Copies of this chain bind each other. A is one copy, B any other.
Amino acid sequence: MDMTNPVRVALIGSGRMGSFHGRTLAQRLPGVHLAVIADPAPGAAGKLAAELAVDPAPAARAVTDPAEVFADPDVDAVVIAAPARFHTDLVVAAAAAGKDTFCEKPMALSLADADRALAAVRDAGTLLQIGFNRRFAADWHAARGLLDSGDLGTPRQIRSLTRDPGGFDPSRVAPGTIFNETLIHDFDTLRYLNPGARAVRVFATATATVEPDWRDRGLQDTATVLVEFDNGAVGIAEACFEAAYGYDVRGELFAAGGMATMGDGRSTGLVFSHTGGRSVSTARSDQELLDAAYVAELAAFTAAVRRRAAAPGAERNPAIADGTDARAALEIALAAAESVRTGRAVRLDGVTGAGA
């Protein structure tokens, strides 16, 4: 990797994930420069830029209008961490400006938007990577390795779950959030762990179990989704907005050759045996549990940007989720929401991409 030719990245969005990605870009990836931070909130970008500045690199330039990012010839790539509803437009604009793009999930909230983003990226010939972090988490990556090596054989039953540590405000949960923003990770994971297969039918349940008083108002804080694939494998995706024991991301891949179990959840390896038994501590947030995966996905992105600059036809890193993967996961998410609405299994007819 030619570190004397740094990758110059712009960050759009300086919220919770934007700040985390900003720190990764500014301080944790050698050969990567955080060049610009864009956030429409007055002062937000500048505040983050100052926090992340490390001598001798100049602090990131702060702007309020993302258009400035796209117009900047000194920006090689953008990382989109704005609210979900802006993702598609930003992806399209980044592609139009010829910028390689990392976009936090979801890439879109409708299939039409997903197709619009895909078309823009295809026309521009730019890179697009989606923030499906589990592809870069060590356990999942190793499980995929056991598939690719043939050790696991054909998948039969796959499980992926995400449980958040709680503390959400039920009044601020938009409809579909648990499918589009939480379970979308798990839908992608099911696909990642069943490469080459296509999801064909989805059945889902969702209700409010954390805040049962909000059940009548339609809150969905807990959901379980069954996904059938065309190779006979069945995936289960589970999510809940509150787990008493912290942030919980795990998976299980049962296949002809055996089973891979992913996700440990411990915050250290220390085991404490005491009068009450034996205990380990558990991770309390995604940024604690998935710290390495979050860094690895941006390392892979910036490496791909660099590689594409050096050799435009270079092969894609198979761990990198692209726009077709985003569309395929979205299709499952939308079908899951429809299944809850109708009480029926929903058949997927579309082409879900050649992704995974």
Contact = CB atoms under 8 A, between A and B. Distances in A.
Contacts of A31: 54-55
A182 to B, nearest CB: 14
Interface string A113-151: 000000000000000000000000011001100100001
A139 B258 CA distance: 23
Contact of A222 (B30, B232, B280): B232
A256 interface: yes
A270 B139 contact: yes
Contacts of A254: 163, 240, 243
Nearest to A23: B30
A317 interface: no
A254 B3 CA distance: 44
Given A57-B57, A156-B210, A265-B278, 12 more contacts: A6-B55, A28-B28, A138-B269, A142-B270, A163-B254, A205-B226, A224-B234, A236-B238, A240-B254, A244-B275, A258-B274, A261-B273
18 contacts: A3-B53, A3-B54, A4-B54, A6-B54, A56-B56, A139-B269, A146-B272, A156-B222, A157-B240, A205-B234, A209-B232, A244-B273, A245-B274, A245-B277, A260-B271, A265-B278, A276-B279, A279-B279
